[in-house]
Structure 1
């Protein structure tokens, strides 16, 4: 193998990446629900725990779907990408998703130059080779078609697909292999025509790739996908495409071609970090990628292949979710993320998409489920907090009473809460990450505290004050433990208690504010609205 260009560092930071999102439309709830909320939950948990995390993504400005949208609306592809990118980033912020970096291929000049250098390096090392293959050609338009410019049946699973990669089975294919392919622009049936481009053969990297997959702790569906790819001879992947928006291929003899958007998506965030350039920063030792199964080829296959071709050991694990489908209900057309965020708030939306995260199977989104989630937060979570705040105001003038937590059943409740902290850490932790498990645990915390409060509602004097202090010990823990999942409400709760938001998810969070602290009940619901 060639001498490594760079090696990972040992800083211990976890680099969390997500699939670049094509800025070809508004952010749909299905696109929000897949990798983006989940990745933010993990990043928040790690940072609250005092561990460094780097959360990055990008926008796939050069995907052919952006050009198709631009042509359909009579606009420039760059204008379409810029406009939808701004809207998507605003929706991420409204959902409480905070990225350390969002790569903008259309605007980041240093990135474009770095991508071209990487491409040149791969070609110089012999990893990229010229091939002449049949491609779909539209005679009325006089163009060789690629990506979303052509539509037909996937040769592997039969699903409707563009050229390159099927978003249902994630298998790569030649555009000319599509069944009944038609030009998206004019609707004419395409014919195969010889086209010469650059390709990345995976078979020479078989041993290293299989070894990587065997040690990468892939989810079952992704492991089966990689095994299928390896079983019949690893494919060759097109890394250049005919014309259109994108970074020009920096190889003599391929003038007018662009670096393929699928290849670019796979390497985008590594390139933007600068870790593959001589003298650049070392790549993090640990990385975890979040994405949908339909985009699995990039992080699970293409990126490791590129790193191996450069002599760099891949370290990234990949989590893939299944499809998050939307059931359009009467009276609502589609399910746009911004509409739902404005109507239900980020707490409700984040909790609901995590609870229904399609990690092991496809999930159908129905707005009725979102409504039920808001009811739980308002009736159970906010209901307990309203009662608690009112009791503190009535019994101790709105301030934390003197004394230690106590009352009949307190030690039993505290033992269950200590156990809950451990369960939450397991749900949030990178190695066992499945935030769906955090939802019922947090609900149990709230219900347990509410039942404890009700049991002491008729008590007087010291026992009632001790029970109030006990509940006031649970409230900061709830703020800390729910912050990775629902940061907006957690921050409101922490502000009401006079504490800081975003503390570690540990049993140590079970501590009431100091005696005499003023509890300032918010004038609006704490969680959701």
Structure 2
């Protein structure tokens, strides 16, 4: 297999203020795993990294709302559940960063901030910040809720999920303390700020070359047209990494600013060191995190070290909705992934969220639609494969036939399949990544093979038609062999089972070369073993 340059894929670290929900799986995590598996089969030296976003203030706020649990207790408990979901769903990360426990993480983030401060990229400003007198607490991020000054939607401090734009907390309209509900006062507070305007030209040049969807590009260009803001990168609080700057050591580094060096830390830990030139990553995230990835992080990396390659592509999902509302851990509006995986197989769930992924527009999850996906895999994928293995058991003694696929029907099907796999490679690849299209193509491949099997069954009715029928069975086995490779990035569990039943190695390339039946005489799996290959 040809060695190709290293590839780095990142997925936004989840906040451990609750379990993962189905919206998370439909967003960055399963999709990023699809790309990782595809590139890995191509021979790329690929790394897929993420971490846990421990220092979000949503963690201690969740603890306070749960009866006074500590932030550490909340984060530890949900981290275990989150990692269990990834393992069960087949989302295989090469590196996970745990900010509160990984040695050297705090120092690395502090050094990153200190370098930007020493170079004059971060400046101290005294500006108003909400303060809750009953709670005796400064309010920012999860501690304050109000109306976004840009779009008017309900928003927490620092960033608005609906429109994706930052705020400075004091500019929220009708603000209230999240914990006690009281209206806060505004008090002057000295914090560190990162003026983005100094990087306007750098960011504009970066936006010209990075692959990103129009929705995110529109957000970037609107913010640039309005004049890029100064972003508070420190807050007075007791949760998170202490600011190393003299006079502000009682403050904590803004968690979204922390994530920039956090990404570098993911790569350095996976490799054992931070190379001078890590590969330009492909980053998976939701549209509500768009400004951070497209403006804040690139500006921070540029300020820190211009030799760090900025991302080559952003793969962005829109909101996945549940009963008309966005999935939300903080509001407990969700179908929890660990609960669904206890009753639904990983392949079925992966199939559904990839087919329903909110790419380019919002989509909505329902248990009824998930049941339809389960029924579809059973009726169309599994039933075809079961019929195939049953026919091979009955007519070829459970061995791959000696006959090679041939005939007009096979020529037409194989031509169409080669066209399909070309399109499938594009849908799996970075430049044309589209999981909805990939699943539709896999469905088309299976449907074509099933029709071919039904039509070819009439070969048995011809005098001396046994040879033609065995050749048709070989053709179906060729499609099954191809499917075990072509579906593997999306549905790894069933694909590995299918490959084993065919006597083939798992993890082969998504390529037309996979469209070959097992060698004549190969002992294949039994019909009993071929039941529910996808979704067992």
TM-score normalized by the length of structure 1: 0.94
Q: Secondary structure of 2:485's match?
A: helix
Residue number among 512, 525, 528 corresponding to 2:532 in the alignment: 525
Structure 1 equivalent of residue 124 of structure 2: 130
Match of 2:167 in 1: 173
- 8 Å CA contact retained: 2:4, 2:43: no
Equivalent residue number for residue 466 of structure 2: 461
Judge conservation of contact 1:12–1:286 (CA < 8 Å) in 2.
no
| Partner Cα distance (2:324, 2:168) in 1 | 34
Match of 1:430 in 2: 430
Return the alpha-carbon distance in structure 1 between the equivalents of residues 162 and 264 of structure 2.
26
Cα-to-partner distance string for 1:188-210 (whole Å, 9 max, x where unaligned): 11111101010100111111111
Q: Report the CA distance between 1:11 and its aligned residue.
A: 7.2
Residues 34 and 489 in structure 2, CA contact (< 8 A), matched pair in contact too:
yes
Q: 2:296 aligns with which of 297, 302, 310?
A: 302
Matches within 5 A, 1:182-197: 182-197=176-191
Q: Could you tell me how far apart the structure 2 residues matched to 1:492 and 1:203 are?
A: 54
Aligned to 2:256: 262
CA distance in 1, matches of 2:150, 2:345: 41
Residues 247-305 of structure 1: CA deviation (Å, up to 9, x unaligned): 11011010210111111123311134349xxx842343321101001111221111110
Aligned to 1:24: 17
Cα distance in 1, alignment partners of residues 393 and 457 from structure 2: 14
- Asked whether 1:324 is paired with 2:342, we answer no
Residue 523 of structure 1 deviates from its aligned partner by 5.7
Task: Assess if the C-alpha contact under 8 Å between 2:96 and 2:266 holds in 1.
Answer: no
Counterpart of 1:315 in structure 2 is 310
Shift of 1:400: 0.6
State the alpha-carbon separation in 1 of the partners of residues 253 and 178 from structure 2: 21
CA distance in 1 between partners of 2:475 and 2:209 (Å): 46
The answer to whether the Cα contact below 8 Å between 1:11 and 1:285 also exists between their aligned partners in 2 is no
Q: Which residue number corresponds to residue 65 of structure 1?
A: 58
Q: State the partner residue of 1:500.
A: 505
Distance in 1 (alpha carbons) for counterparts of 2:56 and 2:89: 25
Equivalent residues in 2 for 1:436-447, closer than 5 Å: 436-447=436-447
Identify the residue that residue 397 of structure 2 maps to in structure 1. 397
**2:495 corresponds to:** 490
Distance 2:277 2:293 in 1: 15
Question: Cα deviation per residue 1:482-517 (whole Å; 9 max; x = unaligned)?
Answer: 000000110111111111111101100001111111
CA 294–21 in structure 1, closer or farther in 2 if over 3 Å, else same: same
1:366-385 equivalence runs, <5 A: 366-385=366-385
CA–CA distance in structure 1, aligned partners of residues 4 and 426 of structure 2: 23
More deviation, 446-455/420-429: 446-455
Q: Distance in 1 between matches of 2:240 and 2:293?
A: 20
Distance 2:392 2:223 in 1: 62
Which residue matches 1:6? none
The Cα shift of 1:426 comes to 0.8
Q: Is the 8 A contact 2:493 2:534 kept in 1?
A: yes
Residues 247 and 259 of structure 1 are in contact (CA less than 8 Å); yes or no, is this contact kept in structure 2?
yes
User: What is the CA distance between 1:446 and its match in structure 2?
Assistant: 0.9
User: 1:274, 1:56 → 2: CA distance?
Assistant: 10
Assess, with a 3 A threshold, how the Cα gap between structure 1 residues 11 and 404 changes in structure 2: closer, same or farther. Answer: closer
Instruction: State the SS of the aligned residue for 1:269.
Output: helix
Q: What is the count of residue pairs matched by the alignment?
A: 515
Query: What's the secondary structure of 2:108's corresponding residue?
Result: helix
Stretch moving more, 347-356 or 379-388: 347-356
Map residues 157-172 of structure 1 onto 2, 5 A cutoff: 157-172=151-166
1:208 partnered with 2:202: yes
The reply to whether residue 282 of structure 1 matches residue 289 of structure 2 is: no
Partner of 2:521 in structure 1? 516
User: Following TM superposition, by how much is the alpha carbon of 1:12 offset from its aligned partner in structure 2, in angstroms?
Assistant: 2.3
RMSD: 1.8
Deviation at 1:328, TM superposition (A): 8.3
Cα contact 1:392–1:398 (8 A) shared by 2: yes
CA contact (8 A) 1:14 1:284 kept: no
- Any idea what SS the aligned residue of 2:431 has? helix
How much has 1:167 moved relative to structure 2? 1.3
Who is 2:328 aligned against?
Answer: none
CA contact (8 A) 2:382 2:531 kept: no
2:481 aligned partner: 476
Whole-angstrom CA distance in 1 between matches of 2:378 and 2:171: 53
| TM-score normalised over the length of structure 2 | 0.93
> Could you tell me whether the CA contact under 8 Å between 1:498 and 1:519 is conserved in 2?
yes
CA distance in 1, matches of 2:208, 2:143: 36
